Every structure is written in structure tokens, then in C-alpha cells.
Amino acid sequence: MKPENVFQLEIAGVLSDKLSLFLRFGFTWLVALPLTILPVSPGMSISGLMMLFLLTTFFGAVIATARRRSEGLFSRLRLLPLSRAQIGGDYLLAGTLLGVVRLTPVLILFALVRGEKISASLLLHVAGLLVVTVFVLHGAGMLVGMVRKSNQEAHLLGALATGLIALVSDVLPVHAGMQGFARAWNPLSMLAGSLERVFHGAGSSEASQALACGLVLVAALVVFVWRGLAGKFAGNPTLPLFSKGGLGGFGKGTGQGEDPGDGKTAPRE
């Protein structure tokens, strides 16, 4: 795979390290297995899965971001004409895609083993919420990971933040009144709620919710395909940061396809 942007770079990096890939996916599925197939209470099963989601997405993003910072990968990227938004956005999208791919089998297994009378709209609802949850948690994890540079501090801060998110998401039931509040805004809490409906066989989801989640899925798919294929056929893989000839007027040979006469300058897009 020839990476053309940070999104493709990250995906290529993950795919090229087979052992790491096996460990990442293996850990998730190994932890998820008893929570889905063993006859534990639904509360325990869903809370366990939500904690797993938190660990694999939020905590994982904290550690990965701190590692990238300490290894100087962000500094390396900052030498290229890429904006912070491009770099961060591509990392976020790549992390979201990997998180969704990693966690989708867990939800499928949960639905198959523990689900009752599941409608298509409910499935759509769960899938949309999964994408949103992974996206939000991964983004939050990246922000926390940027705070500390050392891995040790990032681990500590990440663990503390994971606990806090678990509390405000009603993953760890501390107060009954908290649930309604959390489910009004917190995607992790909403996902837990939708899994409860899967478990209890609540049937279909509200049409508006299913539609919103369907749109989220379509948008996510479009964005993943766009970043995954950006630059593969034609055009510049980076976002159009600068227009041609708009590089500060450096004069002759601005690199925008000009040939200074030596025949060496490679054309640009």
C-alpha cells in the first residue's frame, strides 16, 4: 500500500504490523467473549462492554497519541505542508474506522447471542451510535493524549479520564438519576441504552433516530472511502490548502509544475 495521506498512512501502518493487529483485535474479542456468551445479567454484560469500548477507543487513543508525540511523529508531520486539522482529522478518522471494525463483531455477537426480536431500524440505530461513540471517544482520547508527552503520565491521566467518563456515562451505576441525564447527550450512554433494547427485544427504533443514524453511517462511509481513496486516481491527496501559485510568491520555480530549465523538476499536481 502506498500511503497518500495521513489516513492511509495510519491504516497502512496498522495493517503492516500483523502481530500488533492480532493483539489489538484479539484482546478486544477475548474480553468481549465472556461478556456476550456467558449468562450474566444484562446490566453487567452491557456495562462490561461499555468499559471495553472505553478502553479500546478512548484509553487507546490517549496512549497512541502520547506515543506519537513522544516518538516525534507529529513533529515530523509538521515539516510537511499539512495543517493541524488535516493531520488530526485523518488520525481521528483512521482511529474511528479501526475502532468500528474492531468493535462491530462484538456487537454482532451480542445481538446474535443475547438479542431478541431485533428490527432493522434498531440495528441501524445501534450501528450509527457505534460510529458516533467511537468517533467521539477517539477524539476525546486524542485531546487528552496531547496534554501529556510522556507515556507514563499519559497512562495515568488516561486511566483517570476513563474512570471519569465511565461515571458520567452511567457505565458504572452510581446514581439512578444520572442515567436519564447521561442518555440525553452521551453517545456511550445512548449506545448502552440501545443495547438494552436489543437485549430486552424492544423491537424497532424510532424512525427519526433510525434515519439520523442511517445518515451518520452513510456520512461515515463516504468520508472513509474519500480518505481511503484520496489521491489514488488523480488529484492531490492533501486537502487543497494552497491554490496553485499561491505559495507566498517565491518566484521562479515555485514547484507548481514549473521547470527551471534543468529538466529535473518533477511535475506537481
Partner 1 sequence: MTMNAIEAHDLVREHKQGRGVCGVTLAVARGECFALLGRNGSGKTTLTRLLLGMERPAAGTLFVSGERIEKGSRKHLGNTGASLDTSIHWEQLSGWQNAYFAARSYGLARSAVESRLEELFVLADLRRCAHDPVRTYSFGMRRKLSHIQALCHDPELLVLDEPTGGVDAHFCTKLAGLVSQRTRQGRTTWIAGNDPDWISGVATRVGFMDSGKICAEGTPEALVREVAPFQEVRVVMEKAPPLPFPPIPGIRSLVQNGNEATALMQRDPHLVPGLVTWIASHGGVIKALDVQRATLRDAFLLKTGRELKP
Q: Note whether 263 and 105 are within 8 A (CB).
A: no
Enclosing H/E stretch for 58: none
CA distance 32 to 48: 8
Residue 16 interacting with partner 1 (CB under 8 A): yes
Select from 76, 117, 149, 200 the one that contacts partner 1 (CB under 8 A): 76
Among 30, 33, 80, 168, binds partner 1 (CB under 8 A): 80
Give me the half-sphere count of Cα atoms (radius 13 Å) on the Cβ side of residue 115. Answer: 19
Phi, psi of 11 (to 5 degrees): -65, -45
Distance between CA 138 and CA 44 in Å, rounded?
24
2 vs 175 by CB, closer to partner 1: 2
For residue 162 the three cell numbers come to 476513563
Residue 247 within binding range of partner 1, rule CB under 8 A: yes
Of 101-109, 175-183, 192-200, 257-265, which segment contacts partner 1 by CB under 8 A? Answer: 257-265
Q: Half-sphere exposure of residue 45, counting CA atoms within 13 Å on the CB side?
A: 24
What x/- string results for residues 190 through 229 when contact with partner 1 is judged by CB under 8 A?
A: ----------------------------------------
Q: Which residues make up the interface to partner 1 (CB under 8 A)? A: 1-5, 8-9, 12-13, 16-17, 20, 71-73, 75-76, 78-84, 231, 234, 236-238, 241-242, 247-255, 260, 262, 264-269
